Amino acid sequence: MAKRIFFFLLTNILVITTITIILNLIGFSGYIENDQIMFGPLLLLSAIIGFTGSFISLLMSRWMAKKMMNVKVIDPDGPMNSQERQIVDMVHRMSRAAGITKMPEVGIYHSPEVNAFATGPSKNRSLVAVSSGLLQEMDDAAIEGVIAHEVAHIANGDMVTMTLLQGVVNTFVIFLARIAAFIASRFVKEEMAPIVHFIAIIVFQILFSILGSIVVFAFSRYREFHADRGGADLAGKDKMVHALRSLQAHTHRIRDEQDSAIASFKISGKRKSSLFSTHPDLNERIRRLEAK
């Protein structure tokens, strides 16, 4: 579900922005010579910053998720209640079946949303977290399907693959942002050029990062189908389909409630563009899984 992508992208933008600010504060401009851009050095610099940013984001992903979502990590040797024991047992059983040698951390965060996510820098340093809303809304079979799906993300190494893709995206973002900022700085007085150049780098970098996220979102949608198949292998196809249908029923109910509220204020209820969706349509996911 979307939390995994959101935390990674947010951390990535913050990291590369911080690196950019530090480089500008120390006066680094190794890609500009005789008031001209040296494209070779700029591309190398962009790749170094881009991949550094994505790998730092990967290393921080588990910690960031815990802090931002206030995830309570369950002690596997001393769960507080039978529900916590059930969730830990499910995650560990699925992880062993998936060939993960070190069991993921398991956590619960308090939220009415029906959600779960898996994150972490590697298969052996991962976290599976579920919302209290999911535990309240879904039955045991659906919860097992959701957890199998998240464990499949870990087993597939999706976070590492996404890191490599994000590194490539970052490289182009940083490269193009600096070219655009250099051009923008040519349109102001010479004494203002360094300030405009610095501000423009940050602005263009954030803007291009948002546009570049379209590529990451497309990859995320593609990987969801693989995680569905992996979840079906771990929990059984029936439970995986049941989990998706339960999520679909919950989503339809929430949308109906929102549409009723929106209609009362005469506001158009447009749906989010599919380009910025981290997950494919649930109907398509169910159709592909049933055809498996």
- Residue range 9-18, pLDDT digits in tens: 888 888 999 9
pLDDT given at position 3 = 67
pLDDT given at position 256 = 62
pLDDT at 100 over 70: yes
pLDDT at 150 over 80: yes
List the structure tokens of 233.
Answer: 């292998």
pLDDT at 189 over 90: no
- Write down the mean pLDDT value for the chain: 88
Residue type, 52: T
Q: How far apart are CA 201 and CA 205, in angstroms?
A: 6
pLDDT given at position 2 = 60
Please give the share of the chain, as a percent, with pLDDT higher than 70: 91
Indicate the range of 143-147, 188-192, 253-257, 263-267 predicted with least confidence: 263-267
Q: How far apart are CA 27 and CA 13, in angstroms?
A: 21
List the structure tokens of 83.
Answer: 């529900």
Residues 209-248: tens digit of each pLDDT: 999 999 999 998 899 999 999 999 999 999 999 999 999 8
**Residue pair 128/150 in contact by the 8 Å Cβ criterion:** yes
Closest residue by Cα to residue 228 from 171, 281, 277, 288: 288
Q: Which of 84, 144, 150, 224 is catalytic?
A: 150
The model carries a pTM of 0.84
Task: Give me the long-range contacts of 277-284 (CB less than 8 A, separation at least 24).
Answer: 277/217, 277/221, 278/1, 278/2, 278/5, 278/6, 278/217, 278/220, 278/221, 278/224, 279/1, 279/2, 279/220, 279/221, 279/224, 280/221, 280/224, 280/225, 282/244, 282/247, 282/248, 282/251, 283/248
| Annotated catalytic residue 150 | yes
Confidence of residue 32 (pLDDT cuts 50, 70, 90): confident
Closest residue by Cα to residue 114 from 146, 92, 67: 146
Q: How far apart are CA 225 and CA 34, in angstroms?
A: 51
Confidence of residue 8 (pLDDT cuts 50, 70, 90): confident
